[in-house]
A and B are shown apart, each in its own frame.
Chain A
Amino acid sequence: MPGIVSYGAYVPPTRLALSMSAGRAPKAGGPERAVAWNDEDAVTMAVAAGANALAGFDRASVDALFFASTTSPFREKQGAALVAKALDLRRDARTADLSGSLRAGTDALLAAFDAVAAGSARRVLVVASDCRLGAPGSAQEQAFGDGAAAFLIGASDTIADLAGSHAFAEEIVDVWRSEGDPFVHSWEERFVVQEGYTPGITEAVRGLLARIHASPGDFTKAALYAPDARSFAGAAAALGLERSALVDPLFGRLGNAGVAFAPLLLAAALETAQPGERLLLGSYGDGGAAFAFTATPHLEKLEPRRGVAWHLARGRAVASYDRYLKARSLDAKEWGGGREPGLSATIHFREREEDIALRGQRCNRCGGLQFPLQRVCERCFAKDDFELVRLAERTGRVVTYTFDFFFPTPDPPTIVTITDIDGARVHLQLVDVKPEDVRIGLPVELVFRRIHQVGGRPNYYWKGVPRHEA
């Protein structure tokens, strides 16, 4: 029986107090939302969540990667291929993007369960990731949050087995974004809730219950998508779910994370679930989808991982609304985009092993690890005698550093280091850390981020963050 083998989450550490968009000072403990920063997007968050789901699992066992997002940074060019390369998946792992709808995340789950059930894949990694933009000052901006959830789907060693699913499509223009729109549009709120969301999610869940002959009271954890707190409460009441079964929708902490929202809540549910518990997942968007799971005894064997609670406990407040606007390129600039000299796509292609998969090389003669890839050994001068070594899961140590105040960034300075990774020296930017906490010898872990936009497109590379204990 197919089910969930592992899960992982990613929530950006940057949190914007809701009061800031209205020009008011933030209150301690007041409502906030998680916002992707200037070096993050749906792809980088997907890589982070995917890495958390894969921790402790053999990446070579993954037969397919499905990447779900309405905010993939490319209109044409696959996000999944990029995520797969950064996650160091097998070259013949199938990749596909699912997009265009808020239920793309659960669509990806359905496709993964089908592939595993059909025997065409042993393990499938599903990553749902979104960083949707609401227009500055709009209700959408206040409601949206950013994040990603990942699930490893398989038929053995499952922590939660799929008990059934139901999905349907509906044609409605309630929430949409057209070609060229930076911001999500929404029709009148009551229409969206009364004709779109509430009937949509209830039809999905009721269809599921009928299919598996279950009743709402059978579920002790229900992870439901909702556009906002009020419609969440309405849908839960309409479905007759126990209040104690409702997974906290995290409004005021995370925000509506689009295609990743319901999957993130499912990950949160798995973090506290006990074997035998029945879990419900409900998503909405151009129709709806619902899933029933039963937690297995294997759940207790899964090593602790970075899930929703781990990420929610690690936030840093955005200093001002202005910095948020800069980070999301919503500020007015002297120079628009696309004026920089181009970056050769040929270089991007040739250096993909180093830049995207973060592979260095080990010299077969002297044994030294080095980065980047080069033909002649930096230490012993052996020629063309190396094996590739993935560096992304290793721990580095800061050798030296500087704080560059010159380069434009929403929150200067840019922290630049030379970091030693088991003998390989990497010129590495450090993020998610205060300058005063940077020191020689600081242990760092590696995260996949946007490095710059030269050539008018996002360019990805790895950065360091202080190594988290656990």
Chain B
Amino acid sequence: MRRDAIRDKVAVVGVGCCRFGENWDQSPSDMIVDAAYEAYADAGIEDPQRQIDAVFTGSIYSNKGPHECSDALKLFGKPVTMVSNYCATGTDAFRCGVMSIAAGLYDTVLVVGYDKPKDRGVSGPSVMMDRVRDLPQTPAGWFALCAATYFAKYGAGREELAKIAVKNHRNGTLAPNSFLKREITVEEALGARMISWPFGLYDCAAQTDGAAAAVITRADLAPKGAVLVKGVAVIAGPNPQKDPENDFLSWKPTGWAAAEVYAQAGVTRPFEEIDVAQVHDCFTLTELLTYEDLGLIEKGAAKEHIEAGTFELSGKLPVNTDGGLKAFGHPTGATGVRMIYENVLQLRGKAGPRQVRDASLALSHNIGGHPTACGIAILGKS
């Protein structure tokens, strides 16, 4: 494939994000409209029916397909596509939009990620079982499977996980659209009720409703100084529950997607070059593994970096500056686009009290399934 097909070809000119939470009084359409119209306003789009050429939307819970989005926004007479790729859905919808512009098909595309788990007809997180041998367990049980092995090999433990939760809770208090706005302590995190060992309640992202949107356009049509797409990759991996070669010390798709996106973006020393990152902290351990799987630090070095505060807002490489999935919850299709929103604010210097100084290269990362797919996007200044 051509490594230079994406880099600097596409600009993100508008972003929007609704308030994430238990949005009991909002329908999916309400949230889509809030996020998309904020992105329109941000991009200076006054006549979306004329100015938007195509729509890529992502959701894993919607059973209405792309029509839910096109009907909410009354975007008819143009292609509207729905993307579904587990928790990487948002990043994949963004990638499809970016590819369509880079390929020269469209000038301006709307990307909308959303999900409304609170409307699914079940109370609380679902336990998905559609075949006989599906074990009674939740996503916490899937993502916890690296813990026993990682802890045994590298000596980290629940304290390091708790510090990640504390960081993200703190960052979440600084983000206007976050769901949880409460700081917690390491002791609270360690003392909370167990969900799936080693994950206590505070190691888990909440389940929320939300929508986020981005307007992307050809770089040569964008205003000077607009945020540019440096690379975007989505990679599939084997199901770790049956992969005969899994060592349960890392999640394979992240390493593969990182190699691909770094090649696109020309990043060779990620820890030095990337200024801010939003990574998939569905569970605290997922964030810990992602530090290493992205190649930001050596394998096994997470413990010392967590202790040193490397990934704190004041650290060398702030991660999850808005509080991440921990503080926003995880409306699956929305999450990747919500990360794009945060990174665009960071690159524009408009992230308020959580602003990372002089951020010029920003990474966002989703991993989903068992996990079986990873999406990474790198944005940068012109």
Contact = CB atoms under 8 A, between A and B. Distances in A.
Contacts of B193: 405
A425 B241 contact: yes
A400 B146 contact: yes
B224 interface: no
Interface size class of A (residues with CB under 8 A): 35 or more
Contacts of B145: 400-402, 416, 418
Contacts of B138: 404, 406-407
Contacts of A25: none
The residue in A405, A406, A429, A452 that gathers the most chain B C-beta atoms within 10 A of its C-beta is A406
Given A402-B144, A402-B196, A403-B197, A351 B133 contact: yes
Contact of B136 (A348, A351, A452, A460): A452
A413 B152 CA distance: 21
A426 B125 CA distance: 24
Interface in B44-71: none
A168 to B, nearest CB: 43
Nearest to A335: B123
The residue in B131, B140, B245 that gathers the most chain A C-beta atoms within 10 A of its C-beta is B131
Contact of B245 (A347, A379, A406, A416): A379
Contact of B242 (A372, A404, A459): A372
Interface in B99-135: 125, 127, 129-135
The residue in B125, B135, B140, B241 that gathers the most chain A C-beta atoms within 10 A of its C-beta is B135
A347 B194 CA distance: 33
A343 B140 contact: no
B41 interface: no
The residue in A355, A409, A427, A428 that gathers the most chain B C-beta atoms within 10 A of its C-beta is A427
A404 B196 contact: yes
The residue in B125, B129, B240, B245 that gathers the most chain A C-beta atoms within 10 A of its C-beta is B129
A351 B242 contact: no
A402 B148 contact: yes
B248 interface: yes
B123 to A, nearest CB: 10
A234 interface: no
A402 B141 contact: yes
Interface string A306-350: 000000000000000000000000000000000000011001100
A405 B200 CA distance: 10
B152 A440 contact: yes
Contacts of A426: 242
Nearest to B241: A427
Contact of B244 (A401, A424, A435): A424
Contacts of A348: 132
A404 B132 contact: no
B195 interface: yes
The residue in B130, B133, B137 that gathers the most chain A C-beta atoms within 10 A of its C-beta is B133
A379 B244 contact: yes
Interface residues of B, number: 36
A413 B244 contact: no
A424 B243 CA distance: 8
A416 B129 contact: no
A368 interface: yes
A229 interface: no
A182 B241 CA distance: 38
B135 A400 contact: no
Contact of A407 (B127, B148, B242, B243): B127
A403 B145 CA distance: 10
A347 B244 contact: no
A372 B148 contact: no
B190 interface: no
Given A404-B196, A405-B193, A414 B244 contact: no
Nearest to B147: A402
Contacts of B185: none
Contacts of B246: 399, 418, 425
Given A370-B244, A414-B137, A405 B195 contact: yes
B314 interface: no
B148 A440 contact: yes
A382 B241 CA distance: 20
B149 interface: yes
Interface string B201-214: 00000000000000
A423 B291 CA distance: 29
A454 B135 contact: no
B349 interface: no
A429 B137 CA distance: 10
Interface string B240-275: 111111101000000000000000000000000000
A378 interface: yes
B69 to A, nearest CB: 26
Contact of A354 (B133, B141, B148): B133
Given A402-B197, A405-B194, A440-B152, A460 B132 contact: yes
Contacts of B147: 400, 402
A461 interface: yes
A425 B247 CA distance: 11
Contacts of A66: none
A371 interface: yes
B132 A343 contact: yes
Interface of B: 125, 127, 129-138, 140-141, 144-149, 152, 193-198, 238, 240-246, 248
Given A370-B244, A418-B246, 13 more contacts: A344-B130, A368-B244, A372-B133, A379-B245, A400-B147, A400-B248, A405-B195, A405-B196, A407-B138, A413-B197, A435-B197, A454-B129, A461-B132
15 contacts: A351-B132, A378-B238, A378-B242, A378-B243, A378-B244, A400-B148, A401-B148, A404-B196, A405-B194, A406-B196, A413-B194, A416-B145, A418-B248, A429-B136, A440-B149
Q: Which 10 A-B pairs have the closest CB atoms?
A: A402-B144, A403-B197, A427-B241, A407-B136, A404-B196, A400-B248, A355-B132, A404-B141, A405-B194, A461-B133
